[in-house]
Structure 1
């Protein structure tokens, strides 16, 4: 649904927003921030600034559905606003686009409600009741499977059912929070007995995050045709993974300590409305792949349910910092590589009657593309640690070392539209306790 908010010619009186690579006036993602010495408040990213949504509401600059959405966003978490669904959210975004536009009659009043992002703390945008991580990146699944099962990399169920597991909501943190290397049991093939200690093979995983909006009642599935309406927005997600711990513990029930120590998300909820120009058709399935079952199939979703997003991963090490060298780009791929659409993930999650709730978080699973440039984890890039990455500092990396910092970025570009982004999803590794 394209409208005036997507007009590439629209500019903002907030000077830093014009030409901003992530947060021009065409984006306007929602989040939670606190100014220096202040309490948590709802905010909107605009250029290098944050608009205080609580202050806009208090000033009486909103009415109708837009006012309802802003009122629901107060209190330091956006769950109630997410629960309202697309209508109020769309109305609020449209009104903010008018207020922040160049020539706005309210520019002077709004200027006092803007805070420099660099002077603010960013928080999780919602209270996360549940977190589910999927495995929807088929190239990642194929690459990882090939490391352990060269003759049969994908298990028989993969192309029939969206694979997922329930993660740990309490250890999801916003971008910039440190990541403590986990301890756990490890047993490499060369060692006769397991040992306990810090993970030796710490890795990142490049994913998109989905924020759930309106939920569903327990026992009532979400039809695939309605599933898109339950997605309130998107973020970047780094599903940090302790590969050595995972290799020992995951049989027969799947990930546990190897995943539950930390998950990092970018702090802004980029709305489906902002991403409307960057929708794409789901890639056709290769010849011979099964057609999704009826509860997962919707023609409209297949025609425009994917997202055309450039995804990048950058690594900074102590050696690169010491020599004043730039971050090393580990990966450059695209979100269109996902085998299942976001709507299919929602429909599958709820098909058995599971009740989703506003503020629940989904991870898509690691996104990798064919070829060596778009791999979403070090496990793939280094082929299980056997082919280390060489850095300009003279260092090499099989897996992440203490002091390393990983940054994920997502950018949406299309001719005729303003470029928008997600902001950073960043985390640096601290030594194990």
Structure 2
């Protein structure tokens, strides 16, 4: 902690989400003066719509543990592996491909309607100030004049668009999937360990599902499962426009499973939504924004989390990216000691994060939004016969940088398959 006779450095964060609250709590622990500005109270978040599927793999979960922000870990269902299936092309309702592999350590998903209000209260308990306001340029100017460093961590709303799209880092220019989430209870378990069960339906889209912890509608928690639907635009899974009520949303969810993934439908047919707000549908465009916003006064604001890195949920990396970004920024702020947080430092901080980690996550995630090339089909098929290949793919979700070693080039894929086949035969 800083000495009592030294004025603590002051930081303001706009946005009370995964990245903003984690960074804010981390800075408070190091003696910084931190204010978070958000337009939603804990009660607003708790009683609102679900916002995300927010699956956290172990490396990001460890960051939460290290900062004392894993309050729900003991109660939240543990997901032990990754499962993968492709339906047979003949319409028989069988699986042409199916495998599952254990993660090196479990992951978890805690409904943000539960987590964010809890973290907001914890932030205040640690001495942080929460302000409630809709932040625009004028409010940013006021914050930038008052605080040594201002971070924009809100991923939605017009304000983040002021950062501007970084076209050199954003090769995908339009939404590539119709997205929908359904939080449900009553799902039957599989006959193997809990997995993120990922289903690829060629030309149609993707469906993945995993256990989670949500609110019980009062002040407690309950287990649930989160269904994530990713429909190719214009295809048969792009069908959520007429689902206006909770009942219609659930009906569309189950009809998709019944039509394309009968094995998933059989364990989901008796499901019910956790609550009327346990659903959402929409589209996003994968985007990397510029890291620094220059205000009319010339003062600078640094983007963080979803404000600058928006990934399609297809790889489940959004909350993991936000967590790792918050930790990276925390370390960079602490290492900067008493120096000014100028534009050069801001750009360097983000570039180090992007070049050292996020670029490979973005590249891998974007690759899954397009029809898989032949070598990836070969890789996924090999995983069914070679447990070590399945394990390698599964554990890439913990640290997607590993995919750069074998995912993108056919010769690298062949090298991995051949090496593991030789080990198995030896």
Q: Comparing both structures, which one devotes a greater share of its residues to helix?
A: 2
Give the shorter-chain TM-score range.
Answer: under 0.3
